Amino acid sequence: MSEPILISQDLKKSFGEIEAVKGISLQVARGEVFGLLGPNGAGKTTTISMLTGLLEPSGGQITVDGLDLKSHTNEVKAKMGLVPQEMALYMSLSARQNLMFFGRIYGLKGKELRQRVDEVLEMTGLTDRADDPVGDYSGGMKRRVNIGAGLLHKPQLLFLDEPTVGVDPQSRNAIFESVEALNRAGMSVIYTTHYMEEAQRLCQRVAIVDEGRIIAQDTPTALIRSLGGGVVLLGVSASAPEDLAERIAQVPAVKSATRSDTYPAGSTGGQLKIETQRLQEALMQTLDITNQLDVRITSLEILEPNLESVFLHLTGKKLRQ
Amino acid sequence: MNALNIAYKDLMMLLKDRGQLITLFLVPIGFILAFSAAFAAGQELEAQVIAVPVVNLDPGGEMSTLLLQQLNDDRGLQTEDYDQAQAAADLSDETIKLVLTIPSGFSADVQAGKQTTLRLAYGPAASDSEVQAVRLVVDGIASDLSLETQLVGGLSQMGAMMGDAPAEVRVFTAERIATQAESQFERAKTTPLVALSAKWPDQITQGREDFNPSSFGVAGFAIMFAFLSAQTTAASIFEERKEGTFRRLLAAPLGKWELLAGKMLPNFFLAILQMVIIVAASLVLLPLVGQQAPTLGNSPLGLALVTILVALCSTSLGILLGALCRTESQVGGISSVFLWIAGMVGGAFIPAFVLGDFLNAIGKVVPHYWAMQAYNDLMLRGGGVGDILLELGVLAGFAAVFFAIGLRRLRFA
Ligand SMILES: Nc1ncnc2c1ncn2[C@@H]1O[C@H](COP(=O)(O)OP(=O)(O)OP(=O)(O)O)[C@@H](O)[C@H]1O
Ligand SMILES: [Mg+2]
């Protein structure tokens, strides 16, 4: 395997008292779409800010394409493209003016610049509206310009920070397709999101981030397989016996059963999180026990094995409420 | 190169912002026209002539004739001859407000270098400002006379001036003196005359002779608005931060210095352009509306240097405001108020010597004051670069301090 395009070692960042990133190490292979998954405030944007050189890390090291970011800052920055989480565009300028400006900043000029701008406008489907002020665009169109502006200089490594937030399903699909097309053309991508299905579709490998740490890092399939089976969330009334979780855990098909009182918020009873490799069997045996003990079931939720349940398994938290 | 790209982008955005353009260029010109009209109206009021009854006990004397001539040359005064008894009677029944008495032998005494006394008597009908005005003019001319003739004398102590007033009037004026300008009067008793009279008239004559209201107004507004345009820089930095475009710029292969220079360049040139346009428009427009055109003095180099430093100062102030302001209203309203007040105490609207010692002292902490002093030296007093070195230095200092603090406080990400 060739040398990774990006290596980060023990990256840390504190904002005063807040330790936003507590030591993140990851490697992104060339030509890979790498996902950074995590809930709000996990430290994804902070990590990306450090990786793209706009935030000084409190500790750790970043190497891009074999060059140290700190000592070769501008050289490294030229290899990377950033699509910020927010719409980072000049709203009073047109899409073309925005793209021309950001292209120039990355050193493009003359005919090459105009050509790239035209290509990107074409790719984002904005050729017709290219000369209208961006402020007049719809949210989805702005998103597309926002992405286009990060692509002009054909970066080797593209960072996309939650590019689909607030986007309708159709535009979202268009964004997926362009990411896939760019990736086929050889671009490495770091993609942050808190939508697990996006990561599952796009990313060859994902790192799951929570509270400033990577808690798992692998291919989506491997992560799901490690969990196996599925997860059952079983809501029970307050009258359920204390040792219900332990009893259910005895069931052969059940891998683990734990009581989590945090979900769902406001419920009077408790909630059991039951993990299993054999979903159907485990579910039936569990219900046998609750029937025997005359426990009233208040809710039942089955999580198909996916990255969402991996996250739940690892953190005891749902990604989104 | 990238600095130029950023500057070009900012200018493009500015050109799309009509409100901003109007604020930068049309508002100042409107202000100047309104201000000079108001000032002209004020001058007409001031031009009301104060009648000064004079009892000349030295008729035909060389010095007394000269004194009367000079008193009448002053646009604000008109002397009228009175006989001594008549004047005393009219003063006590308040048909006249004050009387200036030239003592007999005045010319001979002045020429002989002997101390002599001009007496200014005034009754209750005289307003403070009238008495003060006459006193200042007489003081000034008398001291000029005495200086010209290399003689001590002219006016005597203010206490002595009361000599001719009727007793009941005297009591009244004594109160007046106490409340009005006691310390001045006290000093007058102990200080030699020349020293006393040289103090006041200097300012008055300087104010009157050199004061071209157009030059003053134009310089003041040029400074005021050049500093207000610091908000343009501040707002564009704030905007970049708010919209997140700063993040893109910081992720680009681009030095912090290029970024800062790019943000500063447009405002720097705009401020210069703004000042040039303000002056040019004033030269053309003020005469069209019947006002005096500003005089520019005779040091183009000096004007250029002050203008460049004012622009630099305003631009660094913009960086500082951009770094400090955390909300839209801080960038807009609050810094506006701050900049207008700075312009006021810095003497951009009202001549510093009118503001009084206290405000004048405060004014020195704002760059407006120094810019105003420099322009006044150049435009009103015809000075050259050599006369404004201190002001240039102070302005450069302000620019450096603003920039240094701004750079430290500017959080890029
Ligand atoms: N400039 C800052 N100053 C102080 N705290 C910060 C700053 N930037 C981020 N944080 C804190 O660091 C933590 C991580 O924030 P970050 O924006 O990296 O999260 P995220 O994973 O991108 O979340 P989201 O999904 O909401 O975008 C949060 O607790 C946030 O409040
Ligand atoms: Mg984020």
Burial annotation B282-297 (CB, 10 A radius, 16+ → b, else e): beeebeeeebebbbbb
Per the CB < 8 A criterion, the answer to whether A304 and A230 are in contact is yes
Which one, of B119, B120, B102, B101, lies nearest residue B63 by Cα?
Answer: B102
Examine the fold and report which residue of B155, B190, B225 is the final residue of a domain before the chain moves on. B190
Query: Is A72's Cβ below 8 Å from some Cβ in B?
Result: no
The response to whether residue A44 sits with its C-beta less than 6 Å from ligand 1 reads: yes
Confirm or reject contact between A222 and chain B (CB < 8 A).
Answer: no
For B8-48, the pLDDT digits (tens) are: 988 888 888 888 788 777 887 787 777 777 666 655 545 55
Helix (H, G, I), strand (E, B), or coil: what is residue A198?
helix
Q: How confident is the model at residue B100 (pLDDT cuts 50, 70, 90)?
A: confident
Contact assignment for A106 to B413 by CB distance below 8 Å: no
B244 part of contact set with chain A, CB < 8 Å = yes
User: Which candidate in B13, B17, B242, B247 is best for mutational testing of the A interface (most A CBs within 10 A)?
Assistant: B247
Measured CA angle at A247 (ends A242, A249), to 5 deg: 115
**Rg of chain B taking only CA atoms, in angstroms:** 28
Strands A205-210 and A213-218: antiparallel
Sign, Cα dihedral of B170, B175, B180, B184: positive
Q: Residue B276: what pLDDT? A: 92
d(CA A144, CA A178): 10
Same domain? For B145 and B232 the reply is: no
A42 lines ligand 1 (CB under 6 A): yes
Query: Is the Cβ atom of A193 under 6 angstroms away from ligand 1?
Result: no
Q: Is B167 on the interface with A (CB under 8 A)?
A: no
Specify the pLDDT at position A44.
Answer: 93
Residues B274 and B134 in one domain: no
**Unique residue bearing structure tokens 């490495």:** A188
* Whether residue B67 sits in one domain with residue B6: no
Q: What is the mean pLDDT of residues B254-258?
A: 84
Residues of chain A with pLDDT under 50: none
pLDDT in tens, B191-249: 323 222 222 223 333 333 345 667 777 888 889 889 988 888 888 888 888 888 988 99
Same domain, B246 and B328: yes
Domain-located, residue B195: no
Domain boundary, last residue among B127, B156, B190? B190
pLDDT at residue number A262: 56
Residue B110 placed within a domain: yes
Same domain, B254 and B341: yes
Which tokens in the block code for residue B49?
Answer: 């002539």
Asked whether residue B44 is domain-assigned, the answer is: no
Alpha carbons B322 and B241: distance in angstroms, whole number: 9
Strand order in the sheet with A18-28: A18-28, A6-15, A59-64, A67-68
For residue B332, give the amino acid letter: G
Query: Which residue, among A45, A17, A28, has the nearest Cα to A209 in the 3D structure?
Result: A45
Structure tokens at B104: 């007999």
Examine the domain organization and report whether B298 and B395 are in the same domain.
yes
Q: Do A49 and B247 lie within an 8 Å CB cutoff? A: yes
Cα–Cα distance for residue pair B401/B405, rounded to 1 Å? 6
Residue B152 covered by a domain: yes
Question: Which of B244, B254, B412 is the closest to A84 by Cβ?
Answer: B244
Which of A105, A131, A151, A160 to substitute to test the interface with B, most B CBs within 10 Å? A105
Residue B201 inside a domain? The answer is no
| CA-based nearest residue to B97, from B114, B115, B82 | B82
Put simply, the answer to whether A102 touches B248 (Cβ < 8 Å) is: yes
Strands of A205-210's sheet in order across: A80-83, A157-161, A188-193, A33-37, A205-210, A213-218
Identify the residue whose C-alpha is closest to ligand 1 atom 7. Answer: A15
Same domain, yes or no, for B170 and B137?
yes
Same domain assignment for residues B63 and B25: no
Distance between B261 CA and the closest CA of chain A, angstroms:
14
How far is the alpha carbon of B7 from chain A, nearest alpha carbon, in Å?
11
Say whether pLDDT at B157 is over 90: no
Q: Is position B198 within any domain?
A: no
Distance CA A105, CA A150 (A): 11
B253 and B129 in one domain? no
Give CA–CA dist A189/A203, Å, rounded.
9
What are the chain A neighbours of B17 within 8 Å (beta carbons)? 92
User: At B23, which amino acid appears?
Assistant: T
What's the pTM value of the predicted model, to 2 decimals?
0.69
Q: Report whether residue A49 contacts ligand 1, using a CB cutoff of 6 Å.
A: no
The CB density around residue B35, as the number of other CB atoms within 10 Å, is: 19
**Can you give the pLDDT at residue A129?**
92
Whether residues B89 and B10 share a domain: the answer is no
What pLDDT does residue B145 have? 62
DSSP A16-54: TTEEEEEEEEEEE-TT-EEEEE--TTSSHHHHHHHHTTS
Residue B392: per-residue pLDDT:
93
H/E element holding A275?
A: strand A270-276
Q: How far apart are the first and last CA of chain A?
A: 40
Residue A95, helix vs strand vs coil:
helix
Q: Is the pLDDT score of B400 beyond 90?
A: yes
Q: Which residues contact A242 (CB under 8 A, 6 or more apart)?
A: none
> Strand, coil or helix: what is A317?
coil
Distance A161 CA to ligand 2 centre (A): 7
Rounded CA gap, B333 and A120, in Å? 40
Inform me whether the pLDDT recorded for B181 exceeds 50. Answer: no
- Alpha carbon nearest to ligand 1 atom 17, residue: A45
The structural domain count of chain B equals 2
Q: Is there a single domain that holds both residue B104 and residue B165?
A: yes
Judged against a pLDDT cut of 80, whether residue B174 lies above it is answered with no
pLDDT at A261: 61
The protein residue with its alpha carbon nearest to ligand 1, atom 2, reads A15
- Ligand 1 within 6 A of CB of A205: no
Asked if A227 and A299 count as a contact pair (C-beta separation under 8 A), the reply is: no
To the nearest whole number, what is the mean pLDDT of chain B?
Answer: 74
3-state secondary structure of A84: coil
How many residues are given for chain A?
321
Among A13, A17, A46, say which to mutate for ligand 1: greatest number of ligand atoms within 8 Å of CB: A46
- How many residues are listed for chain B in this entry? 413
Residue B169 pLDDT level (bands cut at 50, 70, 90): very low
- Residue B255 tokens read as 């030095």
Same domain, B63 and B104: yes
B126 part of a folded domain:
yes
In a domain, B120, yes or no: yes
| A15 in B contact zone (CB under 8 Å) | no
- For residues B163-175, average pLDDT: 44
Instruction: Give the separation between CA B174 and CA B171, rounded to whole angstroms.
Output: 5
SS (HEC) of chain B = CHHHHHHHHHHHHHHCCHHHHHHHHHHHHHHHHHHHHHHHHHHHHHCCCEEEEEEECCCCCHHHHHHHHHHHHCCCEEEEECCHHHHHHHHHCCCCCEEEEECCCHHHHHHHCCCCEEEEEECCCCCHHHHHHHHHHHHHHHHHHHHHCCCCCEECCHHHHHHHCCHHHHHHHHHHHHHHHHHHHHHHHHCCHHHHHHHHHHHHHHHHHHCCHHHHHHHHHHHHHHHHCHHHHHHHHHHHHHHCHHHHHHHCCCCHHHHHHHHHHHHHHHHHHHHHHHHHHHHHHHHHCCCCCCCCCCCHHHHHHHHHHHHHHHHHHHHHHHHHCCCHHHHHHHHHHHHHHHHHHCCCCCCHHHHHHHHHHHHCCCHHHHHHHHHHHHHHCCCCHHHHHHHHHHHHHHHHHHHHHHHHHCCCC
CATH number of residue B135's parent domain: 3.40.1710
* pLDDT class of B66 with cuts at 50, 70, 90: confident
* Domain end point (choices B135, B160, B190): B190
Mutate to test the pocket of ligand 1, among A11, A18, A208, A214 (most ligand atoms within 8 A of CB): A18
- For B242, the closest chain A residue by CA position comes to A88
Judge residue B234's burial from the number of C-beta atoms within 10 Å of its C-beta, 0-12 exposed, 13-18 middle, 19 or more buried: buried
Model confidence at B412, pLDDT cuts 50, 70, 90, reads: low
Residue A153's Cβ-count burial label (10 Å; 0-12, 13-18, 19+) is buried
What's residue B127's pLDDT? 65
Ligand 1 center from residue A280 Cα (angstroms): 40
Select from A129, A189, A131 the least CA-distant residue to A159.
Answer: A189
What domain range includes position B20? 2-37+212-409
